[in-house]
Amino acid sequence: MDETALIHSAQNGDLDSFNTLILHYQDSVFHTALRILGDEDLAQDAAQEAFISAFRSISTFRGGSFKAWLMRTVTNACYDELRRQKRRPTTPLEPETSDGEEMDSPKWLADPNMTPAERSEADELEHAVQHCLDALPVEFRTVVVMADIQGMDYSEVATASKVPLGTIKSRLARARLRLRECLRGFEELLPSSYRLQEEGNR
Amino acid sequence: MKNFRDIEQLSAYLDVQLSPSDSARLESRISADPELASVLSDLRAARSILRKLPARKAPRNFTLTRKMVGLKPPLPRTFSFFRLSTAFATFLLMLTFAANSVIPRIGFGAAAPMAAQEAYGIGGGGSGGGCEEPCIQSLAVPTEAPVATEAPAAAELAPLPTEGLPSASEDTARVGETAIVETPMAKELENASVPQDPPTVKNEAIIPIAWQVGLLVIGLISAGIAFAINQNAKRKWG
C-alpha cells in the first residue's frame, strides 16, 4: 500500500483511496476508541465519526505520521463522546426478576457469549485493564493507550495529543504508575503468564 | 516512594527515550538503589500488561459512502447551462409580471383625464360640463323607456335653433315613439360614444402574454432537463 499516494488521492477527493486507508487503520482506530471509551458501541460511533471527520479535513494533513494525525481525530471524537455523556449521563436499566424485584447480581451485564468459567486469560486481562484505564483521567488514558497499546512513539503521541513531548513523558509515567497500583487489585485475575513475568522481574 | 522526576526518568528509560549519558547515569543509580529498581519493575510490569492486551479487531468496516461524507456527483457543464437558463427565464417572467402590473398604473394615473377626453371626443370646458358618462350612456341607449325623462337633457345639450324641429313639449309627447332627439350634436355625441370602454384600451399589457408564456415554457423545459441531468448523474454515481 502506497500510503502517500493514497493520501494524495484522498486529498483530491478520491473516496476509494481514503477507504483503502480506512481498511488499513480501522482496527487501530477502533481499538483506541474502545480503550478510551470503554464501550464497544460508543467506540464504533466514535471511530465512524473520526473517519468522516478525517476525510473532510484531510486537506489539512501536511505530511508526517498519518497514523498520529488519524489518532488525533479519533481522540477528538472520543472526547466529544465523553463530553456528551457528561452532559447527558445515562442511567443503566436495573434488571428485574420475574417477580418484579431487582436482581442482586445481574448476570445480564456479562457478555452472553462467555461465562466466568469460560473466560480465557486474555479476557480476564482485558476486563481488568479496561477497569483500570477507565479509572484514569482521560488525558492520561489517551496517552497510555497510544503509547503502550498502540505502540506509538513519543513524538507521534505528542503530535496526536497536541501537547509537548515533556508532557507526554510525564503523563505516561503517572499513568503507568496508577495502572500498576490499580492492577495489583486484580492480581489473582491476571493471566498466569503475567504473574510469572512479574515474579521473574522481581 | 521516589520523587516524580525519578519516576518520569524511569518511564522514559523503559521506552529508550533517554540520551545515552542519562541512561548510563540512571542505570548506575538503579543498581545502587533497590527502591528505584522496584519502581522500574512496577512500571515495566504495567507496560507489559498493556502490551499483552489482545488487539480488538473492528467489528465492522468503517468505509465511507459518498452520502456519508456529503459528496455530490460531478455534473456535466450542460447542467450549469440549463440551471442558469431556468433561473434567467424565471427572473424574466417575474419581471414581465412586475412590468405589466406596475407600469400601467404609473403611466395611466397621470394621463387618465386626457385619455378619457380623447376617448370621449369632447373638448375642454364648453360642452355643458356636467354631461359625463351617464349622459352619454343615456344617449347611446335610446330605446329604453327611462330615456323619456332624459330627453330634455339631450335637448339642453342641443339648444341651438332648429327650424322645423318640434318644440320641447312636442318632444315629450312623442317620447313614446322614439327617445332619440336627432339633433346634429346628439348624433355627434352618439358617434363619439361608439368606441366603447376606452379605459380598457389603455390597460392593455405592456409585455404581451405570448412572451410570458414563452418564458414559462423555456423555464419549465430548462428545469426539466436540468433535473434529468442531475438524476442521471446521481444514478451513475451510485
A124-135 pLDDT per residue, tens: 778 889 999 999
Beta bridge partners of A96: A102
Contact call for residues A54 and A22 (beta carbons, < 8 A): no
> Domain extents for chain B?
4-52, 77-228
pLDDT at B124: 43
Min mean pLDDT across A53-62, A132-141, A188-197, B174-183 is at: B174-183
Whether the CB of A152 is below 8 Å from some CB of chain B: the reply is: no
Find the range with the poorest average confidence among A38-47, A109-118, B65-74: A109-118
Rounded to a whole number, what is the distance in Å from the CA of A123 to chain B's nearest CA? 8
* pLDDT score of A74: 96
Look at residue B140 in the predicted model and tell me its pLDDT: 45
pLDDT of residue B134: 46
Higher pLDDT, B207 or A120: B207
Cβ-proximal residues to B203 (8 Å cutoff; 6+ apart), any chain: B104, B108
State residue A127's pLDDT score.
85
Q: Could you give the 3-state DSSP secondary structure of residue B231? A: helix
Q: How would residue A36 be classed by pLDDT, with cut points 50, 70 and 90? A: very high
Put simply, whether A27 touches B (Cβ < 8 Å) is yes
A187 and B CB contact within 8 Å: no
Could you tell me the residue ranges of all domains in chain A? 3-87, 118-191
3-class state of residue B176 by DSSP: coil
Structure-block grid coordinates of residue B8: 518520569
Strands (E), chain B: none
Q: What is the CATH number of domain A3-87?
A: 1.10.1740.10
The CA-CA-CA angle for residues A200, B13, B50, to 5°, reads: 55
Mean pLDDT across the stretch A57-72?
93
Q: In this predicted structure, what is the pLDDT of residue B89?
A: 93
**pTM (2 decimals)?**
0.61
Q: Are residues A27 and B68, on separate chains, in Cβ contact within 8 Å?
A: no
- Whole-angstrom Cα distance, residue B193 to residue B146? 19
Interface residue B1 vs chain A (CB under 8 A): no
Rounded mean pLDDT, A65-91: 88
Chain B residues touching A180 at Cβ < 8 A:
42-43, 45-46
Of A18 and B106, the one with more pLDDT: A18
If chain B, 238 residues long, is cut into consecutive pieces of 10 residues, what is the mean pLDDT of each piece?
84 92 94 92 89 87 89 82 92 90 68 48 44 46 45 47 49 49 57 54 72 92 92 79
Are the beta carbons of A169 and B8 separated by less than 8 Å?
A: yes
Judge whether A53 is closer than 8 Å to chain B, CB to CB: no
**In angstroms, how far is the first alpha carbon of chain B from the final one?**
64
B186-216: string of b/e by CB count within 10 Å (b at 16+)? Answer: beebbeebeeeeeeeeeeeeebeeeebeebe
Task: Give the model confidence (pLDDT) of A144-163 as tens digits.
Answer: 999 999 999 999 999 999 99
Query: Chain A: nearest CA to B24, how far in angstroms?
Result: 19
The counts of H helices and E strands in chain B are: 10, 0
Does the domain at residues A118-191 carry the CATH identifier 3.40.50.11540?
Answer: no
A9 lies within 8 A of chain B by CB: no
**Per-residue confidence (pLDDT) for residue A128, from 0 to 100:** 87
